[in-house]
Chain A
Amino acid sequence: MTQDDTDLGRLGRVAPPEHDVLDAAREVLWAVVAQEMLSAGEAAGEAGQAGETGSRRAAQRQKDQRQTDQRQKDKHQTDQRQTDQSQTDQRQKDQHQTDRPGP
C-alpha cells in the first residue's frame, strides 16, 4: 500500500448504507430463495408421494402374489382331495366287488 493508494482510498470513501437499503436488497434475494426452497419441497413431496404409490403398488403386488399362491395351493389341495377321493372310491368299489359272493 503506497501513499497514493492511501490518498485514493480516502477519495473513494463513502457513507455506510442505510439498513433498509440492505434489507430491501436481501428481500429481493429471499423471494427467489424461498421460491427455490418451495420448489425443492414440492419435488421432495412428489417424490415421497411417488414412493408411497410405489409402496402401495408393491404391497398390492405382494397381496396379489399371496392370493395367487393361495389359489394355487387351494387348487392343488382340491385336486389332491379329488384324487384321494377317487382312489378311495375305487378302492371301495374294488373291495365291494371282491366281497361279493361268487356266482
Chain B
Amino acid sequence: METDGTLIERSCRGRPDAFVEVVRRHEIAVHGFLTRRAGSQAAADLLGEVWLRAFAGRGGYDPAHPDARPWLYGIARNVLRAHWRAPRDDQVTAPEDPCDPWEAVVDRLDAAARTGRLVGALRALPSAEREVLLLVAWEQLTPAQAAAVLGVPPGTARSRLHRARAALRLALALEET
C-alpha cells in the first residue's frame, strides 16, 4: 500500500485526485478530533475546511513522513482555532482563551462524566499540558506525533505529557484521601 507521503507527492505532480485517498484514510479520525473538541455539528461544518486547507498546503508536506494524520490534526487544530476566534451569533461573550475551549468540551460530556474526578483533574491542568495529554489519550498519538501536531519539539511534548500525567495522578490521589 502506498504511504500518505507518496500519495501527497503524486497529488502535487499532476494527479491531484490522489489526495482524496489520503482523505479517505483519515476522515473518520479527523472528524473525531473535531467532534471531541467542538461538537458534532461544528465538526460536520469544519471537516470540509480541513480538507481544503490540507489540499492547498500539501506542497509543504514532507513525503518522507509516511503517516499524514499528525499533519492533518495540526490543520484541524488551526481550523478549530479560527472557528473559536470567529464571532458567532450564539456567543454572548468571547471565551477567555479561544484556543482552550475546555469548558465547551466539558459541557458536551454527559452528566455522569462531568461530575467525575477525572474531568476535574483535567480542568486544573494548564492548557498546553492538557492538549498533549488528550492528543495521546484521545487520538492515540505518540508524544513525537503530538509534538508534530502542536509544532513543538518532541522533547517539549514529552515533558508536558510527563507533567500532565504527574499532575493528574496527584490530583486523583488527593481526592481519594
Contact = CB atoms under 8 A, between A and B. Distances in A.
Given A16-B28, A40-B14, A29 B118 contact: no
Nearest to B119: A11
Nearest to A7: B118
B31 interface: yes
Contact of B138 (A9, A15, A16, A36): A9
A37 B136 CA distance: 37
B51 A28 contact: yes
Contact of A21 (B47, B138, B165, B169): B47
Contacts of B14: 40
Nearest to A40: B14
Nearest to B133: A8
Interface in A1-41: 2, 4-5, 7-9, 11-12, 14-17, 21-22, 24-30, 32-33, 36-37, 40
Main secondary structure of the interface of A (DSSP, over half): helix
B67 to A, nearest CB: 19
A28 B53 CA distance: 11
A29 B51 contact: yes
Interface in B105-137: 109, 113, 116, 118-119, 122, 133-134, 136-137
B28 A12 contact: no
A30 B133 CA distance: 34
Interface residues of A, number: 26
B137 A12 contact: yes
B99 interface: no
Contacts of B134: 8, 12
A8 B118 contact: yes
Interface stretch (B1-9, B16-24, B89-97, B152-160): B16-24
B168 interface: yes
Contacts of A9: 137-138, 140
B80 to A, nearest CB: 15
A17 B136 CA distance: 21
Given A8-B118, A8-B122, A22-B47, 6 more contacts: A9-B140, A11-B116, A11-B138, A25-B27, A26-B23, A28-B49
B136 A5 contact: yes
B84 interface: no
Contacts of B104: none
B149 to A, nearest CB: 15
